[in-house]
Copies of this chain bind each other. A is one copy, B any other.
Amino acid sequence: MHSHVHLVIVFTFPTKSLNKSRLRGEAQNAGEEYTKLLQLLESSGLKAVGKAGRRYGEIIVLVHSPLVKLNQLARLEQCSDFRQGVLAAVSSLTKPQINLPPSHRIRLLYDYLTNPTSAGGLGISPGISLWKRVVGIYPLHDPEFDKTWVRSLAKGSPTLNQLDSAKDNYGEEVGLYFAFLATYTKSLTPIAVFGTTFHFLGERYSPFYSIVIVLWATFFAEYWAVYERKLAIRWGSYGSSGLYKLSKNQTTETRVSRRWIEDFDKLSRLGISVAVLLGFMGILVVITVIVFVLEAFLALLYKGPGSQLAPVIPVIIFTASAPTVLGIYRFIAIRSTDFERNDTSTHIYSLTIKRFILSTIVSYFGIALSAFIYMPFGQEVLGLLHLQLSAFDLMGMTGSLVGEEEELLWEHDLFKASTKLNNTRLQTQMFAFLVTAQLANAFQELGMPYVIRWLQSRINPPAKMKRPGNRLTTQEENLLDRVKEEVSTRLDYDIFDDYCEMITQFGYIAVWSSIWPLAPGESMACLNNWLEGPSDAFKLITHLRKPIPVRVESIGAWLDCIRWIAWAAAVVNTVLVCLYHPDFVHIGMASYKEADFKTCLLIALTASHAFLVVRYVVRIVVDKMYWQHSEEKERLDRTGQKLRGSFLDTFTRSAVHVTRGEETQGDFWTLDEGLDEILRGSKED
């Protein structure tokens, strides 16, 4: 029953117009568009039926495609893939029967519906002027698969077969995320054991710990690069990133034909997009710095009422405001990236990188301020602030207070204040950031959706109308209810959030964990991650719409993020060891000399170079260990060779026309002197 509904098209029309004649006109237009939609779908060999939605003004068109049609589409895609160089496509070409997994069916049908007519599709793209009443096209969850899937995930790290079935149901993009999660969690185990041991036995800011962590981060990045390639070969998506696809906004526009103008245009668009990003980065930096100053320094100086709680207030403000800024940027970034006019894969890449940069500032900038400004320069900044406050006093602003009361408000003894400046701040901050982040994420993933939907249902209660003459079975009724629930009340799945959470955690561990070898979650993070798989799946199943399956061969931008984090880990760890390790620390709290600053920078830059060398070596080793002799590489080679071999076989051997070389005249080619020459010696003597 369920499998018959492949996609759901949501069709809306206005119901709240004041003018009655306009309303009637609207209804007529909507009727025309709706009829056109159904006719188009049916004339294309699809089955389509409209059902009343959850509220008036919303129609849900259920679309089903016969297998014949899907097979045709699959065949077409394979041919086009192969023409564009995806070798894997050929292996399925030779099979007469195509066994399409659900995600593949949905993707094919979705592409068919939304592709422009020029590309052989139906052109039903939500939002374009021709279909302005079509607001969305969604696939439906498969409750039976979902149930078993979450259960299997809860049992532990998913096997390759479980990843396959996730991919079969949700497409390569989601499959790859769960594969990444599993690989990351597994690779975390040894380092968690190491970190915990180190925390209890070893020292802080240990060079040895830092080296191990950086090596681990580098190894993980390179290992994943190989692993995802192997998965792509296994799933047949290898090489698919090279396929040429237009982004949504390009489909409706004519392309500029002159190259240089086009290039310049692109560059300036990119420039504007980057400027927007920089603007938001600036906002976040300013917010972070203000919060930091309020929280860190006022805690040292302020003695007034509520001085115990005072430093917490700015942190709460920050925790509330930062996600808002990120949310606003997300909204703007989608538009500014559209504005860049990239093709699809570049579009996603650009968007991901930009959003992650902002998220990075929120996650790490506070710790960076503590580590590189507050701790080394704290004395100076404190002195400066103190001076400002004293000036404030002198100007008589607090003149209304008597001397003693004033004494109580601000710490006037600078020495006393500076004793509060200490090393533990970094550890505390790490702990707070990590735990806060994980709790916030867990709530956002699992709790928040319930709240939102409860609110939604209060504002927009579903219209319960039993039609007369309704001859549907209970099963069908249930299906319809589920469809309406999924389509109308759920939000879209944004895979960015899931990746961002994991990669940010990876960053805490790789870059900052020498501060607190236990916390950066190692074991904690580990505990968190074993739950992350089932909880992400649960969230997807229960609270979000099923995403349109996307065929990808790599986690793309995220791999680059991991690599950059590994590099940052090399640099930051070096600086942290220099600044804080007892053997290396030649800077006290107040003796931060220019020369030491230079030494520190010098060592960091050297570490950056050393990292490049180490990564080169790690890359070779990983390639040797996991790729060179792998089954997947062999399969890849074999596919190519088999293909070319069979091409050679089909190639009709045209007779080689031979131009006979002219025969040489004379004795030149017959008069052999060799044997005479050899025997001459033994004869002569």
Interfacial residues, chain A to chain B (CB-CB below 8 A): 4, 11, 13, 15, 20, 23-24, 27-28, 30-31, 34-35, 38, 47, 49-53, 56-57, 59, 61-62, 64, 66-68, 71-72, 75, 79, 82-85, 90, 93-94, 96-98, 259, 263, 467, 470-473, 476, 594-595, 598-599, 601-602, 605-606, 608-609, 624, 629, 640-641, 643-645, 647-648, 650-651, 654-661, 664, 666-682, 685
Contact = CB atoms under 8 A, between A and B. Distances in A.
Nearest to A629: B259
A244 B471 CA distance: 70
A667 B56 contact: no
A612 B272 CA distance: 24
Most buried by B among A15, A57, A643, A678: A678
Contacts of A666: 471-473, 476
B656 A4 contact: no
B595 A59 contact: no
A34 to B, nearest CB: 5
Contacts of A673: 50-52, 59, 467
B35 A675 contact: yes
A467 B676 CA distance: 11
Given A82-B648, A93-B651, A34 B675 contact: yes
Given A52-B676, A59-B674, A650-B650, 13 more contacts: A4-B669, A27-B681, A50-B673, A52-B677, A57-B681, A59-B677, A84-B641, A93-B651, A467-B673, A473-B666, A476-B666, A605-B606, A643-B647
Copies of this chain, complex-wide, total 2
A85 B679 CA distance: 50
Given A656-B72, A658-B68, A648 B679 contact: no
Most buried by B among A11, A94, A673: A673
A648 B82 CA distance: 8
B679 A31 contact: yes
Given A4-B664, A664-B4, A671-B471, A678 B30 contact: yes
A30 B673 CA distance: 14
A210 to B, nearest CB: 19
A677 B56 contact: yes
Contacts of A606: 605
A624 B72 CA distance: 38
A477 to B, nearest CB: 10
B56 A648 contact: no
